[in-house]
Amino acid sequence: MLTDLYEFKKDLGKRGIFFCLSGPISQNLVAEIGTTLEQKMTLEDTSKSTVLRVFSTVVENAQNIMRYSDEKEEKLSLGIIAVGYEDNHYFVLCGNMIEKNKVERLRSKLTALQNMDKNELKEYYRKQRRKGPAPIDKSRGAGLGFIDMAKKACQPIEFDFKKVNENFYFFSMKTVI
């Protein structure tokens, strides 16, 4: 494994990834990630609005992992977050395990968001905010965080579900900013 670490680093670089975290995610860690990303992007003369959009997308993804990952270590949720740059745009990748019974509902929500233009996303966001929390799962409708990320993205959010075993899938998402 030790001899492969350099190859792993090179592979991340080839994919445009300059930040990657895999493991337990906590609120304190998210704050540190934000500081690091802000410093790096500022050094690259990235606009403040882009830095803010990237950071808020990282925060939203981290919160989703902390709340909804079905893979835990002690009381911490496990997942992966990566940030990179390709084709003149930043991107945020995230992933975590989810139970099989959650896949179709999440796929349906994200597919609906993929098919909306910017104006439809804005209106849908407003409508969902007015609804308030849904009684079943204490989340707001289609997930305000997903809608907000879709609004900030410069292209539709990409996502995938990889079957891990009979009970779990690995949920992956990419947001391009």
pLDDT at 27 > cutoff 60: yes
Which tokens in the block code for residue 170? 């690995």
Q: Beta-carbon neighbour count of residue 123 at 10 Å? A: 11
CA distance 17 to 11: 9
**Exposed / middle / buried, residue 83 (Cβ in 10 Å: 0-12, 13-18, 19+):** buried
pLDDT digits (tens, 9 = 90+) for 36-73: 999 999 999 999 999 999 999 999 999 999 999 999 99
- Does 3.40.50.1100 match the CATH number of domain 2-99+153-176? no
The one-letter code for the residue type at 110 is: L
Mean pLDDT along residues 78-102? 97
Task: Tell me the one-letter amino acid at 48.
Answer: K
Q: Phi/psi of residue 79, each to 5°?
A: -175, -170
Does the pLDDT of residue 11 top 90, yes or no? Answer: yes
- How many angstroms from the chain centroid is the CA of residue 104? 18
CA angle (64, 53, 134) in 5-degree steps:
35
